[in-house]
Amino acid sequence: GGLGLGIAMICFIYSITMTTAAVTLLCLAAMPFFTALLAFLFLRETISINVWISIIIATVGLTIIAIDNTEKASLLGLIFGITSSIGFSVYSVTLRWRKDTPKFTTVAFAGFFCVVFATIMILSNGLVFFSSSYNSAMFSLHGTVVCLGLILYSIGSKAIPAAELTLLSLTEVIGGIFWVWLPLFGINEIPTTNTIIGGFFLFISITYYSLVMKWNKRHIALN
């Protein structure tokens, strides 16, 4: 699980430097599909028809995004993005596979793997470990936010099936695309038409799943 998470984080960085942030984030829309398949094969988890419908809608959105990325660099970024989603799916499935495994251990191992990989890349390219005070502050802030999110994600895995867990995490995608678009706080990166259409499909899949889950809870309560 830690290895899968480490690979996911590394591929995410490579992807976001080769293509737009919107495309990289929307690649994560494939997570529920890979997670559902892995959970079915290794955990024998049953996937409800409503979850599959949501996954299919999200996959359609990802396909629309891929059509808009035919250049070599952008296509490579798309591949790294999908690899990142697979790695994150492996992480989600292993959380459900060994529920008694300390959650902090998995995240810590992923962080250690990234440190080793980054050290190798820095030394092999003749770079230095130190940066400006501003960048160092950003590194610390980003590391804290990411680790906190992963820890909360790990805790939530105890009560939610793997496929549904990753489907709910797709709210990060919508939030990330909106954030980089903001002229004042973001980088004013305007998504392409296909990216907007694909993102709309993703939003529909999350909304559909949320409504179904709410209805199911109400139905159980009434009975």
Mean pLDDT (whole number) for 43-63? 81
pLDDT digits 0-9 by tens, 68-118: 666 666 778 888 988 998 998 888 788 777 666 666 777 788 888 888 998
In eight-state DSSP terms, residue 124 is: H
61 touches 173 (CB < 8 A) = no
pLDDT of residue 83: 92
69 touches 78 (CB < 8 A) = yes
pLDDT of residue 11: 92
Query: Which range marks the domain in which residue 90 is found?
Result: 2-222
Task: Name the domain count of the chain.
Answer: 1
Question: Which of 106-110, 191-195, 204-208, 213-217 has the weakest average pLDDT?
Answer: 213-217
Which of 218, 2, 34 shows the shortest CA–CA distance to 110?
2
pLDDT of residue 166: 62
Q: At what angle do helices 103-124 and 72-97 cross, to 10 degrees?
A: 150
Q: What value does the mean pLDDT of the chain take?
A: 78
**In which residue are the tokens 């440190």 written?**
115
Question: What pTM did the predictor assign?
Answer: 0.72
77 touches 16 (CB < 8 A) = yes
**What is the band of 29 on the pLDDT scale with cuts at 50, 70, 90?**
confident
Mean pLDDT (whole number) for 168-180? 75
pLDDT of residue 221: 44
**Highest-scoring range by mean pLDDT, 74-88, 121-135, 198-212:** 74-88
pLDDT of residue 222: 42
**DSSP-assigned letters across all residues of 21-46:** HHHHHHHGGGHHHHHHHHIIIII---
d(CA 16, CA 89): 19
pLDDT of residue 223: 43
Q: Please list the alpha-helical segments (H only) found in 71-102.
A: 72-97
d(CA 53, CA 153): 23
Q: How far is CA 148 from CA 37, 57, 108, 142, 200, in A?
A: 27, 29, 12, 10, 28
